Amino acid sequence: MPHIHIDQCHGLSLQDAQGFARDWAQTAQRDWAMTTHVTDAPESDDADVVWQFNRSGADGTLRVTSERYVLDIRLGFLLGTFKDRIEAQLLKNLREQVRR
């Protein structure tokens, strides 16, 4: 199963980083028919917010810490054929957000 892992420093305040993740989750729900929800991070983890998401052909997590975004996505067979394009677009979106 194809896997995408992105670990990106954001340089934002925690509140702004969490706001971006919230906006991202709303976009995922609206545009990509994803189901999303927030879970608490394990106490031993430095993540402040963990968004879980899934839909047919893809599932994963977006962790937001005080310093970084960590995105892990598992793609099904059909979406896996577009892995490189999906990963490039996700990186572009995260980098644009970091520059704001």
Number of domains within the chain: 1
What is the CATH number for 79? Answer: 3.30.160
The amino acid that residue 21 corresponds to is A
Torsion angles phi and psi, residue 56, rounded to 5: -60, 120
Q: Could you list the residue range(s) of the whole structural domain that residue 69 is in?
A: 3-99
pLDDT in tens for each of the 100 residues of the chain? 899 999 988 888 888 888 888 888 888 888 888 898 888 655 545 557 888 999 999 999 999 888 988 999 999 999 999 999 999 988 887 777 666 6
Which residues does residue 95 pair with via DSSP β-bridges, in sequence order? none
Residue 44 φ/ψ region, left for φ over 0, alpha for ψ in the -120 to 50 degree band, beta for the rest: alpha
